[in-house]
A and B are shown apart, each in its own frame.
Chain A
Amino acid sequence: MASKVHDLLYQSFERALTQLEQKRLDEALKTSETLRREKAVLERLRQRVTDSSVDTKFRPFFADRVMSRIRSQTATGLRIESVWEGIIAAFRPIAIAATVVMIVLISYNLFKSKTISVASALGEPDITLEQVVDPAFVMNWE
């Protein structure tokens, strides 16, 4: 009960209490000297905290420092952008031709191998390791 009233006291500084809550707090304040003292201490504490507000300025020329960082950030962004634009411009003329060549090669490989797989599309020969390496040679070598 006492703790509830205590909570109400703290909350009374933060929000409007309901009629019932306010009545309960007022009655408790009337009867309890401790609670009245607590309220007074809380009021002083809150005032002290408000009064202790810190410096409201950073070091001098703060705005200039921020603007200079924004400018350099924008310049770096523009530089990166222009490098990308350069790369795109350089590759654009050959990109279409390269794509056409790639499609022709893939079609040719698929047609030649008569199977549909990534390996055959890339023109990889369909042979095993044993077919590549002569087993007799491997045994002699061991």
Chain B
Amino acid sequence: MTDEQLIQAYKSGDEDAFRTLIKRHEPRVAATVIGMLGNCPEADDVGQETFIRFHNSLDQFRGQASVGTYITRIAINLSLNELKRRRKRQFLFFSKSKDDDEETLVDETGGIEYDDEKEIVRKAIQDLEPDFRAVVVLRMMEGYSTKETADMLNVPLGTVLSRLARAQKKLKAVLMPLLGDS
């Protein structure tokens, strides 16, 4: 069954149809939310909220975008909101922001502190500013086109391109030892 058919079935009273939709889109939402927030308890909450918002907006969903794109847009916006809340909380409690953490990924001798290389890359992405992180997650990890990324974030295409370039420069600076070029 297509997503649209599942939505119609759910509207006609078939509760399992919406469960199927959740299962179908869970990987995409998880990749987006965990990519943005890291693997933390809030990620699960934001994931749930994403599907609840989608459920509540079913009447407004006219199929302008695919269901996947529509849900990812909700997920990325809720993730950005959560990051803002996180920063506010950290500011209120005068603690060092996790997002502003200056922790280096490479030790003084040039060696890498983490065992798992993937983990190092994820940590570097997590340390990017939220706006840069969003374009990296959507474009480079999720594989959306720059146009789709711009639509989801509601920013001009040029902004996506410049954020991508700046994000890659930052990542390159941090991950240089891993990329094998001095």
Interface, chain A (partner B; CB < 8 A): 7, 10-11, 14-15, 37, 40-42, 44-46, 48-59, 62-63, 65-67, 69-70, 73
Contacts and interface: CB of A to CB of B under 8 A. Distances in A.
B19 A58 contact: no
B39 A44 contact: no
Given A52-B141, A53-B31, A53-B141, A70 B52 contact: yes
A54 B122 contact: yes
Interface of B: 15, 18-19, 22-23, 26-28, 30-31, 34-35, 39, 43-44, 47-48, 51-52, 55, 117-118, 121-122, 125, 136, 139-141, 143, 146, 161, 164-165, 168, 171-172, 175-176, 178-181
Chain B contact residues, majority secondary structure: helix
Contacts of B18: 67, 70
Nearest to A51: B118
A44 B48 contact: no
A63 B23 CA distance: 6
Contacts of B176: 41
Nearest to A7: B165
B121 A65 contact: no
A69 B47 CA distance: 12
A69 B51 CA distance: 10
B168 A62 contact: no
B122 A58 contact: no
A48 to B, nearest CB: 5
Contact of A14 (B34, B55, B161, B171): B161
Pairs of residues from A and B, 3 with the lowest C-beta to C-beta distance, nearest first = A56-B27, A52-B121, A10-B165
A44 B161 contact: no
Contacts of A52: 118, 121-122, 125, 141
Contacts of B164: 10, 14
Given A14-B146, A14-B161, A49-B125, 16 more contacts: A11-B165, A14-B164, A37-B181, A44-B179, A44-B180, A45-B172, A49-B171, A52-B125, A56-B26, A63-B19, A63-B23, A65-B44, A65-B48, A70-B18, A70-B52, A73-B52
A95 B55 CA distance: 37
A69 B141 CA distance: 30
Given A40-B181, A58-B26, A70-B52, A49 B121 contact: yes
A59 B44 contact: yes
Given A57-B30, A59-B44, A62-B22, A49 B172 contact: no
Contacts of B125: 49, 52
A50 B181 CA distance: 19
A58 B141 contact: no
A56 B31 contact: yes
B31 A41 contact: no
B31 A54 contact: yes
A41 B172 CA distance: 8
Contacts of B48: 62, 65-66, 69
